[in-house]
Structure 1
Amino acid sequence: MLGCIKNRETEGEVTFELSFLNVDDDDARVYISNYTEQTRNFTLQSKHVYTERFDTAVEVIGSTLSRKGIKVESDRHLLVYGSSRYNQYGLGGFVSLPISHHGYLYYIVTGDVHGEVLIVGVWPDTKVEVKLHLTSDVITYNDTTYINGSAITETLDEYHTMQIYSTGDMTGTEIRSSEPVSVFTGSKLIGTYPTTNHMVDQLPPLNLWGKTYVTVPPPGYIYTCKLTSGSPNTIVTYKCDESWEDFLVLPEAGSYQTIDFNKAACLLSSNEPILVTMIISKYTANPAMVIMSPLDDVTGEFMTYVPGMLVSAQLVIISNSSITIDPNRPLLSTVCPGHLDYCITYLDNLIGNQTYTVSSQSESFVAAGFVYGRISTWKAACYSLFYRTSGKAPLPRQQEDPRVFDNMTTTVLPDTIEGSASNIVTTKTMNLNKTCLCYNYKKNNSKEIANLTQMLKETLFVNPITTNKYIRSLTSAEDPRTSSKLPMRDTHLEYLFMH
């Protein structure tokens, strides 16, 4: 479930594109729908990319509630790349998370100024609470003023888009929901004029954060790192050189610190999961944001895509194994700093609108990274290589958090919204295939299912005669009373009575 966040200060025509990469071995059937439940559908060949361009009607405008969500459904595993461009004024991009990776608990990360967040409804009657953490004095939502520490509550249905603006930093703002939601975050303005840009990325929920990261910029660039905690007393250790390491403490859930790592490659580890966000720039030019994926296990190979909007792109891959790129590209360099225990591979001058396959000599390896590219001297965007796959799955639906959602207020929307319809709307209404929401699944044969079932039975079985309850049942409590004693038999008296 997606949304086009209005991440720009200037006015002008917006170009919003979604690029669909079919990484499956079979052709995919893809459906795109908006709140009118009308669809655009097409077949996408295996290992191919299709790009759909939307008009300005999809852009979410204002700090308010609207119905501008975009749903993508498919019967195969897709990677979906979002790109937004505003004439010469800016560029932003993200790799979308499938619905299976949406969650109930988020902590926002934005730039230092002009922070914003967009929450997209996935399920009907979803109760949402946004507890604000602001550097600005106040914000306005639905014509109501809110201060730092206050909470905004709302009820979302599918396709609803709840957007909140701030003039300052919103990092640390907490989002809780009764059903999984999709969350986009960013800033309408970063950098120093005339090299300003906007930035956007899709937030992973807390259950997809990690404890081990490697951060590094593309060659010739610098970066700052914003570290956000999801638990109290989070200790983050970072090592950017063999000769030293340092640490910091994030005392509360939602606490954050920004560190200027400049050009250094750094290894970050923590005792609790953290969110790591890089803001990459060429000193004062090309600022772009990417939420880093933690180092994660990869089996076999993975594909990535360089969006067609990018004029010049670079690929940065962190891995514990030697990798190869197809189509074959000359590697700019591969370095293996001793303080990282990982190697960093750089590729330069990548071709836009091109897919690349990354593989290793090892069947299973650890990897993370991103694609960084620009469309002009000043404007750039960054895309994570993939979303994390080994995090905990969200709780089942309808497990509502009891700590929130009392005395909820609801914004009532009109049945129709003024303005022209998006070009995804067609005159034909389709019944969508709701069996697979861009979910990456694996088909198990009957033998694998039987083995898994037997393993679960053996793991979960408890022998009743080994329990404390059963052992205690064999021992009677001691009773000191005389009447409870079994009397000794007097055989002599028995003989007399019998004779």
Structure 2
Amino acid sequence: MDSLGRFLFVSRILLLFLFEVCHGNSFMVGFMQNKYDTKALTIYIGRTNQSFPIAASIMVKSVGSSNNPILDSKYLVGPMDSVSIAIPVEYEVEGTGKSVQGISIESDQEIYIVGINRVTSGSSYMDGFLGIPVASLGFSYYPVTKSGKAEILIVGVYDLTTVNIISPKSFKYGHVTQYSLTETINAFETLQLQTMSNDLTGSHIRSDKVVSVYSGNRYTDVGGERNHLVQHVAPEHLWGCTHAIVPPRGAEYEAIFVTGTDDTHVTSSCGPCFELTSTNPSSSKDMGNEHCLFRSNNPVSVTMIIRFDAGNIDPTMIRIQPLQRVQRLVFFVTNTTQFAYLILVCDVTHISLDNTPVVTAFLPGQGVAFYHSQSLVEPGRHVISCGSGCSVSAYIHGSQGAEALGYPIIPNQVPDCDLTPKGTVATAASTQSVPIASTAIDPATNTGSIDVSTQTDTTQWLGGTTTPDVLNRTCRCRACSLVTTNYSQEELESLVAELRQKLLVKREGTAKYVRTLVSAPDNRTSATVVGYLAGTILVTLAVGLLVIDSPNLFRMLKTIKRNLSSPRATTNK
């Protein structure tokens, strides 16, 4: 290889390396409390770019404490490889309060992580989550839980981070029951809130620096079966406006919608539309086994709670990602379950899984064609591809005996809403006297400041923006109470005539016709001013000329007068 060839090869490697590093390959992970003490905490890590020839260097770190061993391990992962890392059970956050149990995962290349918390003896309680990179985290979160043993975990990413939480239901923090909380945490520190019987859906978490948030239940009863539920909560700026939900075969589900914006209308392809407001920011819908497409005029968070009426598979919680545009999507299936299914929704029929065409079925939508499929997938790395690009939403649902877990598959979400950035994200009403946090965010540093005050009856949150869409550039009516009217032929003709009269443009009123006239009236104020000014100038000029020529004018008048008054001389010579 000559020097030019070596230079081009090295340049390509450096460009790929810089692309991967700048993509954001850092994660901050935490494990909420499961039901029993005997557990296995596992993090699965895989590569998403198989074309990069150098093995990915992955660091797993923690600062440790008197109760937790320090984690400081390095792993090398090849282009087609993945690694399973067992995390000490001491890193499961138990009870409420502040602790130091966050885990940092960093890589020099783009990676994909899935966390699993599983009880290994006695009754089976297990669920998993897809990790959200630090680069995609945010400042505003609305966690979702079920009633009974609900919990929320917040993991610090940066030192001196102020976190403010307001909940519509009471929770315990440090053995104190409260509705609101303001705390300062450092990197790796965790805050965990729990409740015995309440549902913490609708709580609002704000911070002046990005944080990593998890929510769910230690264990709860859904459809007669119990399980541990968990999801890595997506920040508000990553929510979307177009969601499709297809349950696994034989399953039914509950869909939970949350908004951070007032006057949010959600339409459904398989049910009536509904509204989310500042006083009712969340809504739970029992959808049975319907395959549904949901659209909203403002960004929403959608969570799916899966249940099996047969009672032989545990419930799971899955964060439904908005449909978004992709060309090639890499995902991993853990070896935790015996059977794992990829449930996929897309807007094209020519889509492949591991270079094999996927058989799709039509999903009735709202004027847009979508298709869905369910494919049995083996543990390991998989690739979805669709040529020039397609809109995709997908998740994994796995089971082993009665155990079950589920998680979405797109790690770097892109919002799909074409909305103007808003200064106000939400207005949340409460009857409690709670701290209010207004956040000023510096986009250059991803930091800001929270001013905390107390206000009664009404609270208002400020800050946040939305990002332009990549998918859903459509216009939709914001009204929810849409009706269909049947018109008679005479009524239609009358409406057409009325519209024609309103839309008709008369020739005499066009600018082109007016310009053909020698003169035309102009009632504009500017035209009146110009006319008066021109008249004043002309009068001034005339008067000035008369004044200048007045001596000659007077002599001429005298001469004329003298000639008229003197007798005419006659000569008779």
User: Per chain length, whose mean CA-contact separation is higher, i.e. which structure has more relative contact order (CA < 8 Å, sep 6+)?
Assistant: 1
Letter in 1 for 2:288: N
C-alpha separation between the residues in 2 aligned to 1:254 and 1:118?
A: 23
Structure 2 match to 1:400:
448
Q: 1:368 to 1:64 in 2, by over 3 A?
A: same
Post-superposition Cα deviations, 1:259-305, rounded to whole Å, max 9, x if no partner, equal 1111110010111111110011212332001010000011x211111
Letter in 2 for 1:143: H
Q: 1:265 to 1:193 in 2, by over 3 A?
A: closer
Residue 201 of structure 1, aligned match among 192, 217, 231: 231
- Which segment is superposed worse, 336-345 or 112-121? 336-345
The alpha-carbon deviation at position 12 of structure 1 amounts to 2.5
Q: 1:317 to 1:56 in 2, by over 3 A?
A: same
Residue 159 in structure 1 maps to residue 159 in structure 2:
no
C-alpha separation between the residues in 1 aligned to 2:302 and 2:413?
A: 17
Normalising by structure 1, we get a TM-score of 0.76
Residue 381 of structure 1, aligned match among 402, 405, 413: 405
Residue 315 in structure 1 maps to residue 339 in structure 2:
no
Residue 221 of structure 2, aligned match among 169, 173, 191: 191
| Equivalent pair of 1:65/1:162 in contact (CA under 8 Å) | yes
Structure 2 match to 1:270:
296
The 3-state SS of whatever aligns with 1:171 is: coil
Residue 65 in structure 1 maps to residue 108 in structure 2:
no
C-alpha separation between the residues in 2 aligned to 1:488 and 1:374?
A: 103
Structure 1 match to 2:321:
293
C-alpha separation between the residues in 1 aligned to 2:308 and 2:374?
A: 17
| Equivalent pair of 1:232/1:250 in contact (CA under 8 Å) | yes
Residue 257 of structure 1, aligned match among 277, 283, 296: 283
**Among the aligned pairs, what percent are the same residue?**
23
Residue 136 of structure 2, aligned match among 101, 105, 116: 101
Letter in 2 for 1:367: V
| Equivalent pair of 1:229/1:253 in contact (CA under 8 Å) | no
C-alpha separation between the residues in 1 aligned to 2:124 and 2:308?
A: 17
Gaps of 5+ in 1: 408-471
RMSD: 3.1
The alpha-carbon deviation at position 254 of structure 1 amounts to 6.3
Post-superposition Cα deviations, 1:125-152, rounded to whole Å, max 9, x if no partner, equal 1111000122xxx422123221xxx320
Post-superposition Cα deviations, 1:184-218, rounded to whole Å, max 9, x if no partner, equal 11111222597311110101111100111111101
C-alpha separation between the residues in 2 aligned to 1:4 and 1:323?
A: 38
Post-superposition Cα deviations, 1:156-198, rounded to whole Å, max 9, x if no partner, equal 1111111100122000000010111110111112225973111
Structure 1 match to 2:174:
142
Post-superposition Cα deviations, 1:413-460, rounded to whole Å, max 9, x if no partner, equal xxxxxxxxxxxxxxxxxxxxxxxxxxxxxxxxxxxxxxxxxxxxxxxx
The 3-state SS of whatever aligns with 1:155 is: strand
C-alpha separation between the residues in 1 aligned to 2:234 and 2:83?
A: 25
The alpha-carbon deviation at position 52 of structure 1 amounts to 0.8
Residue 370 in structure 1 maps to residue 392 in structure 2:
no
Q: 1:326 to 1:256 in 2, by over 3 A?
A: closer
C-alpha separation between the residues in 1 aligned to 2:374 and 2:81?
A: 24
The alpha-carbon deviation at position 399 of structure 1 amounts to 5.0
Structure 1 match to 2:437:
none
Residue 214 in structure 1 maps to residue 239 in structure 2:
no
C-alpha separation between the residues in 1 aligned to 2:280 and 2:212?
A: 19
Structure 1 match to 2:548:
491
Structure 1 match to 2:48:
23
C-alpha separation between the residues in 2 aligned to 1:206 and 1:327?
A: 32
Structure 1 match to 2:39:
14
Structure 2 match to 1:460:
none
The 3-state SS of whatever aligns with 2:187 is: coil
Largest Rg, 1 or 2:
2
Letter in 2 for 1:246: P
C-alpha separation between the residues in 2 aligned to 1:398 and 1:102?
A: 10
Structure 2 match to 1:231:
261
Greater helix share, 1 or 2? 2
Letter in 2 for 1:488: G
Normalising by structure 2, we get a TM-score of 0.66
C-alpha separation between the residues in 2 aligned to 1:343 and 1:326?
A: 15
Residue 346 in structure 1 maps to residue 374 in structure 2:
yes
C-alpha separation between the residues in 2 aligned to 1:187 and 1:308?
A: 23
The 3-state SS of whatever aligns with 1:132 is: strand
Letter in 2 for 1:152: L
The alpha-carbon deviation at position 329 of structure 1 amounts to 6.3
Q: 1:97 to 1:323 in 2, by over 3 A?
A: farther
Residue 305 in structure 1 maps to residue 332 in structure 2:
yes
| Equivalent pair of 1:108/1:203 in contact (CA under 8 Å) | yes
| Equivalent pair of 1:173/1:254 in contact (CA under 8 Å) | no
C-alpha separation between the residues in 2 aligned to 1:289 and 1:121?
A: 24
C-alpha separation between the residues in 1 aligned to 2:77 and 2:174?
A: 40
Post-superposition Cα deviations, 1:86-122, rounded to whole Å, max 9, x if no partner, equal 1243111011110111001111111122211111111
- Which segment is superposed worse, 388-397 or 18-27? 388-397
Structure 2 match to 1:79:
112
C-alpha separation between the residues in 2 aligned to 1:254 and 1:494?
A: 91
| Equivalent pair of 1:304/1:385 in contact (CA under 8 Å) | yes
| Equivalent pair of 1:334/1:343 in contact (CA under 8 Å) | yes
Structure 2 match to 1:247:
273
The 3-state SS of whatever aligns with 2:182 is: strand
C-alpha separation between the residues in 2 aligned to 1:193 and 1:273?
A: 29
The 3-state SS of whatever aligns with 2:381 is: strand
Q: How many equivalent pairs are there?
A: 412
C-alpha separation between the residues in 2 aligned to 1:31 and 1:172?
A: 35
The 3-state SS of whatever aligns with 1:267 is: strand
Gaps of 5+ in 2: 1-26, 65-69, 422-440, 455-525, 554-573
C-alpha separation between the residues in 2 aligned to 1:4 and 1:400?
A: 24
The 3-state SS of whatever aligns with 2:448 is: coil
